[in-house]
């Protein structure tokens, strides 16, 4: 079954355009839209609703543009809504958010758990794709999923509601609150992604919607994948380690790839005395290993590679835990994004980087 999704666009519109005017403008752009006031009722068309959570600005009113249940073939409707909002000179401020709901009709409990774990593993990387005002616990309407013991509580949950209740918040948030980056307490059978900042740009909206659906699709794959035994993993790790001893150049490559600082292609070229940088991904693949890659403009070659090594420790009744996803490339690889989506997210991370010149 294909995933369904919906978007909620919080925005500010000049006061000369009331909700009826906004609905008419969106309809004129080619997408049927109605003014419904404050309601959680499902519609088969787009709707304009009021939103008291936003902070108004002088001369602007607060509105939320809510889509009906959409499928991927209706993604172009977001372009038309964005065109209408641009014509109305709509804008956003720091109190606005972009929320994406993804349907859970064909998503198992195990996949829901895998989704939350993946988000926890990648939360710091996903933060890099979002403005600072919505990172970590900076925003009370999209709090972090992280807390002590949260993975064990998620593993023990017996329903979607129990997964939501397992997430603990500090401050004024109560257990099971919907004001979290990944909200499973939705009254509809959906998971709500609340992390993204407000925007009326259809390119940003569509890319975030696709990202959210890729997160759910990845969780479904993870939940359906057969478990690998510890013994098999240890045997594989030993075999992989032996392949790096086949010659002096392989041993040098292994040593540099396993350094804490990693190695770039140019650094490895110089160390091996080559005329051009070796293809690190190809060599790692030949050795049967895995690697991470991250961008560093201050290193020759810029892309830093590190070898993923080591066999898992065998322990009785281990405490459920999760390891952070180390790089944006690793997250995008896990989500199996398209080349076009990868370029978008890498450019967005660079634009939002504190080191941007």
CA pair distance 341, 208, nearest whole angstrom: 10
Res. 62: pLDDT tops 70: yes
Please answer whether residues 112 and 104 qualify as being in contact, where contact means their C-beta atoms are separated by less than 8 angstroms: yes
Please answer whether residues 64 and 10 qualify as being in contact, where contact means their C-beta atoms are separated by less than 8 angstroms: yes
**What pLDDT score was predicted for residue 29?**
96
- Which one of 3.90.550, 1.10.10, 1.10.287, 1.10.600 gives the CATH number of domain 230-320? 1.10.10
Res. 47: pLDDT tops 90: yes
Alpha helices in the chain (DSSP H): 19-28, 77-87, 109-127, 150-156, 160-166, 202-224, 230-243, 248-257, 265-272, 280-286, 328-335, 339-352
Task: Encode pLDDT of 184-194 as tens digits.
Answer: 988 788 999 99
Which residues does 116 contact at the CB level (< 8 Å), separation at least 6?
Answer: 145, 154, 163, 167, 182, 184
Measured between its terminal Cα atoms, the distance across the chain in Å is 45
What mean pLDDT comes out for the span 311-334?
A: 66
Residue 167's nearest CA partner among 193, 141, 144, 137 is 144
Top-confidence range, 268-277, 301-310, 314-323, 324-333: 324-333
Please answer whether residues 256 and 301 qualify as being in contact, where contact means their C-beta atoms are separated by less than 8 angstroms: no
Q: Could you give the maximum distance between any two Cα atoms of the chain, in Å?
A: 74
Q: Which of residues 174 and 46 earns the better pLDDT score?
A: 46
Q: How many CB atoms lie within 10 A of CB 187?
A: 7
CA pair distance 116, 123, nearest whole angstrom: 10
Q: How many CB atoms lie within 10 A of CB 145?
A: 20
Q: Where are the domains of the chain?
A: 5-224, 230-320
> Is 64 exposed, middle or buried (CB count within 10 Å of its CB: 0-12, 13-18, 19+)?
buried
Task: Encode pLDDT of 228-268 as tens digits.
Answer: 444 444 444 444 456 666 677 777 888 888 888 888 888 88
CATH fold of 5-224, please? Alpha-Beta Plaits (3.30.70)
């Amino acid at each position: 079954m294909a995933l369904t999704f919906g978007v909620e666009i919080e925005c500010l519109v000049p006061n000369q355009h009331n909700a009826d005017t906004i609905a008419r403008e969106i309809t004129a752009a080619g997408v049927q839209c109605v003014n419904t006031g404050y309601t959680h009722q499902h519609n088969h068309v787009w709707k304009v609703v009021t939103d008291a959570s936003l902070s108004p600005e002088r001369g602007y009113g607060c509105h939320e543009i809510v889509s009906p249940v959409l499928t991927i073939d209706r993604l172009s409707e977001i372009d038309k809504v964005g065109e209408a909002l641009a014509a109305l000179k709509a804008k956003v401020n720091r109190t606005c958010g972009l929320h994406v709901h993804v349907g859970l009709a064909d998503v198992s409990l195990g996949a829901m758990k895998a989704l939350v774990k993946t988000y926890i593993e990648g939360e710091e990387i996903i933060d890099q794709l979002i403005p600072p005002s919505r990172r970590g616990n900076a925003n009370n309407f999209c709090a972090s999923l992280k807390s002590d013991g949260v993975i064990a509580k998620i593993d023990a949950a017996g329903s979607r509601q129990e997964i939501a209740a397992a997430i603990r918040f500090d401050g004024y948030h109560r257990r099971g609150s919907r004001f979290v980056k990944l909200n499973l307490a939705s009254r509809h059978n959906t998971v709500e992604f609340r992390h993204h900042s407000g925007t009326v740009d259809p390119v940003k909206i569509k890319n975030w919607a696709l990202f959210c659906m890729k997160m759910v699709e990845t969780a479904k794959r993870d939940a359906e994948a057969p478990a690998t035994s510890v013994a098999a993993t240890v045997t594989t790790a030993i075999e992989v380690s032996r392949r790096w001893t086949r010659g002096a150049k392989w041993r040098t490559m292994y040593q540099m790839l396993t350094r804490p600082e990693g190695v770039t292609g140019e650094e490895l070229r110089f160390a091996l005395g080559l005329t051009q940088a070796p293809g690190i991904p190809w060599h790692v693949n030949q050795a049967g290993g895995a690697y991470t890659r991250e961008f560093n403009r201050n290193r020759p070659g810029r892309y830093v590679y590190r070898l993923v090594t080591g066999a898992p420790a065998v322990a009785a009744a281990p405490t459920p835990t999760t390891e952070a996803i180390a790089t944006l490339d690793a997250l995008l690889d896990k989500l199996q994004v398209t080349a076009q989506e990868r370029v978008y997210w890498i450019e967005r991370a660079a634009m939002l980087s504190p080191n941007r010149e």
